[in-house]
Each structure stands twice: as structure tokens, then as C-alpha cells.
Amino acid sequence: MTPQKKVRLALAGCGRRGICVAGLFRNHPQCEITALMDPFESATSLAATQLDIPEARVYRNFELMLKDAPVDAIFLACDPTQQVGLACAAMKAGKHVCTEVPAAFTIAECWDLVETVKKTGCKYQLLEQLRYCGFIETWMQMNERGELGHICLAQGEYVHFEMAWKLWMDKDTGEMIGEIPKPSGRRVEPTWRRRILADPIYYLPHTLSPILRVLDDRVVRVSCMGTRKHSYTHPDVKLPWSDIQYALMHTAKDTVVLAGAGFSLPHVPRGELGAHWYDFRGTRGSVESPRSKADTYRAWRRGMDAFETSNVSSIPIGATEEEQKTGHGGTDFKPVDTFIRAIVDDTVPPMDVYRSVETAAPAILAAESANQGGALLEVPNFRTEKRRSKSKAKIRIPR
């Protein structure tokens, strides 16, 4: 693609996240949004208005959009349990694809992504943004220089409590409803959030992606445990969620990773990164992100009496003032920019298909492990192995 030409992008899934990130694509100097797709008219109208793109073509049907729309790339921000099928269809139609987190919900879907990228040569990128945090990059460089020694333990969690998660959708209008009990008097269905977050560990990729970036590593086996599938926070309503699930993992380079997720467990107000926390312990030192608003980033080197405050933040290194204002502590612009650059420059995106499935597969197997009482499960090596027939597991989450 010539550097002068803009990437023509379609947004598929015009919900809150889709519109927010599409705003960053629209503002990117090498991108324009030429199509919007969502099953609901209310969603595409809102997107066209909020993004101020009245000229964008509008579709209700994904296949029709693929055939008809003047686009080079698709940004998928829909029900994430449907996105692998859509991503593969798009790549087979010659479109580059970026998707929201998590990338996949079965090991078979991970293989589908890897094989389709290989076959089509299209660019695929997961829009996981926390891996670009300034402090993650600083810690990655410290690790590369050997300043932390051998990192024996990496920890992290994404524990994000909200009372009004959108758990139901009005089937007639597409309106998302923030109530726990099933609303009466209207035709509703459970949203993907209500279905997925029964096993909150499916959201492990947000924690694993930055951790694996620092370690330059991949998970080889995983075990996971969680609390019962009836939230203790909501004892009087049946919310079939584990309040917390924690995965214990082992990496190829011999680091133990302990990482958890929960969406119904209340917590102390967190700092600039909302609900995310990271901690690395090496033979020469350790580093940790704040656990609350009152806390600081900190580092400790062997021989020191105590932690010292680190002058790092979530803002990606080199971000402009405008970029620093983007969501998730100034990181949201980064995967948008790297995806567009990869298309324009014809390079491999930094969060390519291998790195993407290396965050998804441990999460999928962790959910499976939690439901088997903590079984130890092996993670396939998508770079060197071939798909095994036994990995063609059916999706556990009802669609």
C-alpha cells in the first residue's frame, strides 16, 4: 500500500467499545472509516453520529458487507464469542483484521486464526493495549538488560467490580440493560458478558499480554481454581459467576505466573490503570504496579532495605499529548496505530496472531481447568505444532 493512501476500515460491532476505539481509527492520519456494520439500526446510527461519518456505508449483515463495502480492513468489536468466525471470513475475503480482547474461546478457534493468517497472508492483530504501558516497556527493558535477574514469579490480576454490567440485551432494539435479574415485560437475551464472565478467567489475556511481553515467553501449562458459580457478592440474585478465578501457569523459560480475574468482587479503588495489577520477582530485584489509588509504582533491588518509588506510568513511551489522553491510561491509541502502520508498511503487527493466541489459549484452558477442579492442562505451541484432532473442543459458552 502506498504511504499516501489511507486504509479504508469497517467497524463491525457498534457498541460502546467499538465506537470509542473507532474514534481513534477515524483520527488516525492514515485511516478512514468507510463502513459500519451491526445487526441493530440504533447502534449504527449512534456510531455514524458520534464518529461524525454520515457518508459511511451501513450494513446489518457481515457477509454482505464483505462483498460490497469499499474496505481494506475490518475492526471487530462485536460479541467476542462470534469474532473468530467473522475474522476468518474477512481474511478469506482478503481483508486485514483487528479484533478486541479476548481473541478466541476454544483451542480450535486459536488454530483457525493461525491457519487463516498463514493461508491468506492478511494482517491480524489483537487490540490488547496494556502491553504498551510505559511501565511495562520499562520493565521489559530492565529484564532485557538482566537487571531483574531470572524472573521466577510474575503475578497480575484484572479484578473489575461494577454493579451495572450490561447483562441483558433487548432483542427488539439492541438496548443493553445493566440489571442482574432478568428484566420482566420485555424480550431479552443474556449478553456475551453475562455468559462469558461466569468464568472470569477468559479475561486473562489482558493480564497475560503485558506479562508475556516483559518475559518474552509463552505459557506451556496451566491449572486454575475459582469460587463457586454463584456470586457471593449477590447472594439474593442468581448470578452464575465465579467471583474470582486464579490461574497458576508455567512458562517455557521457567517462570511461574499467577494471574487472576473477577468481575463481581468489590475492591479498593485502583489507580490510573483501573482494575489491573502486575508484579515481577527476579533473582536480582522486583517491580510492582500500584494496588490502589494511594499506592505508587515501586522497585526493589537486591541489597536495598525497602521498595523505592519508580518514576514510571501507564503512558506509552513517546506518546504525544493527544495520545496520552486516550483510554486505559493513555494506551488505547497504540494498538490502533500499530495495526494501521503494519498495513501501510506491509510489516507484521506487534501483537500478531501467534502472540494473540498465546494469550487466549492459556485463558481457555484455565477456564476448562477451573471447571475440572484445577486439572493441569498443556498449552499447544502454535508456532511449531500442528492442530491435533482432540483440540477441536466445542465452545463451552452458550452462544
Q: Which residues bind ligand NAD (CB under 6 A)?
A: 12-18, 37-40, 43, 62, 77-80, 82, 100-101, 127, 129, 166, 174, 176, 191, 328
Contact indicator for 196, 202 with CB cutoff of 8 Å: yes
Q: Output the residue with the shortest Cβ distance to ligand NAD.
A: 15
Q: Which is nearer to ligand NAD, 130 or 151 (CB)?
A: 130
For the bound state, the minimum distance from the C-beta of residue 153 to ligand NAD, rounded and expressed in Å, comes to 25
Q: Which is nearer to ligand NAD, 43 or 379 (CB)?
A: 43
Q: Give the residue among 272, 244, 251, 259 at the shortest CA–CA distance from 157.
A: 259
For the bound state, the minimum distance from the C-beta of residue 144 to ligand NAD, rounded and expressed in Å, comes to 26
For the bound state, the minimum distance from the C-beta of residue 44 to ligand NAD, rounded and expressed in Å, comes to 9
For the bound state, the minimum distance from the C-beta of residue 232 to ligand NAD, rounded and expressed in Å, comes to 24
For the bound state, the minimum distance from the C-beta of residue 130 to ligand NAD, rounded and expressed in Å, comes to 8
For the bound state, the minimum distance from the C-beta of residue 301 to ligand NAD, rounded and expressed in Å, comes to 32
Tell me how far apart the alpha carbons of residues 197 and 124 are, in angstroms, rounded to a whole number.
25
Q: Return contacts of 324-328, CB within 8 angstroms, 24+ apart.
A: 326/24, 327/20, 328/129, 328/130, 328/273, 328/274
Tell me how far apart the alpha carbons of residues 130 and 209 are, in angstroms, rounded to a whole number.
8
Q: Which is nearer to ligand NAD, 87 or 248 (CB)?
A: 87
Q: Which is nearer to ligand NAD, 44 or 120 (CB)?
A: 44
The x, y and z cell numbers of residue 210, run together, are 503485558
Contact indicator for 31, 340 with CB cutoff of 8 Å: yes
Contact indicator for 370, 245 with CB cutoff of 8 Å: yes
Run of H or E including 336:
helix 333-345
Q: Which is nearer to ligand NAD, 96 or 328 (CB)?
A: 328
Q: Which is nearer to ligand NAD, 176 or 344 (CB)?
A: 176
